[in-house]
Amino acid sequence: MSEELQFSLAPMAGYTDLPFRRICRRFGLHYAYTALIDAGALTYGNRENPLILARGEEEPWLAVQLLGSIPEDIRVSGGLLQAMDFDAIDFNMGCPVRKVMQRQAGAALMRNPENALTCLKILRDSTDKPLTVKTRILSETDPEPTLRFCQALAGIGIDGLTIHGRLAGKVYSGPVAHAVIKAVREALKIPVCANGGIFSRADALQLAAETGCQHLMVARGAIGNPWIFRELQSRDCTVPSHQEICQVMHEHLQQMRDFYGEERAMIIGRKIVQSYLVGRGYRRSLRHQAVHIATWQDFLEFHRLVAQEGNGIF
C-alpha cells in the first residue's frame, strides 16, 4: 500500500510561496498548491496576486487554491484562473482562520451549504481545469453530516476532495477523525485525500491505513522540515545534520530575498528561520534572536551564530 501513496504539500497562507515549494521539491515533493488567493483580490486586482500566483518554470505540478464566498467574485476569478498556468483549481472550504470565517468563506461555507454549492457550481462552470475542494469534518464521531456535505460537493462534478480530519473549531488540535475520512472515501467515486497530523513517515502510514486513502496531504509537518518529503518518498528517515540545516536555511532565505526583495524577505523570513531550529536542540534564546533580523547582513550574522551553536549540540 505504501508504495502507491501520493503526497502533496498543503496550501498554507504565509508559507507555501515559490521559495518554500522549491526547497520542498528538492527533497521529493511533486504535488503542491499555492497559498490561498482571495476571489475578491483576483477580481479587483490586488498587488499581492503575482506573488501568490507565481509558478517556477521547473515546477512539475501546481494547483491554485481559491478562497471566497461571493458568487460573482467566484465567477470572475474562475475565468481568470482558467487562462493561467495551473494544473488544477482547488476551492477552499476548510480554512478556520477567524477573519476568513467572518467573511463567510473557508470553513464557514460548511455552515451554509446552499451558498457553498452555488459558489462551487459557478466555479465548475467557469473552468474546464480539474477542480477539487479542500474541506473539514462536521462531526468527530458521526460520519453522516460530513458524508452528506461531501456527496453534495461531488454531485457538482468535482474531480477530487481533500478532507482535514478535524473540526474547524479545533483548528489543528486534537486527534484526526480517521473513521470520518474513511466513510467519505468509501462512499465517493472520486479520489479522496486525507489531511491532518503528518509529521513523519509513521504518521503517514497510519493515516493511510486507517482511512484507506492513497492520497495524503502534508501541512505543518513540512514547515522547517522539507526533509519530510525525502522521508515519505524514499523511506530515508535520516535526521538532517547541523550542516545541512544551516545550508538549506541559508538557501531558503536567499531564495526569499531574490523573490520578495531584501526588506520584505527578512521580515517574512524570521518565522521561517525559527521553524528550521525549533525542536532540534538549538537554544531558545538563540532562536529568539531571529526576531531582530531586518537585513541580509543581520541574517548572515544570525546564521554564523547558528553555525557555531551546532558545534556544541551535534
The catalytic residues are: 95
Nearest alpha carbon to residue 119 among 128, 131, 130, 137: 131
Do 46 and 70 contact (CB within 8 A), yes or no? no
Contacts for 272 with CB less than 8 Å, ≥ 6 apart: 20, 224, 249, 252, 253, 256
For residue 95 the three cell numbers come to 480554512
d(CA 165, CA 179): 9
- Please give the DSSP secondary-structure letter assigned to residue 234: H
d(CA 60, CA 114): 35
For residue 1 the three cell numbers come to 500500500
d(CA 125, CA 74): 10
What is the distance of C-alpha 281 from the center of its chain? 26
Task: Mark out the alpha helices in 127-177 (DSSP H runs).
Answer: 143-156
Place of cell 501541512: 219
Q: 64 by DSSP, 3-state: which?
A: strand
Do 216 and 204 contact (CB within 8 A), yes or no? yes
Residues in the chain: 314
For residue 133 the three cell numbers come to 475542494
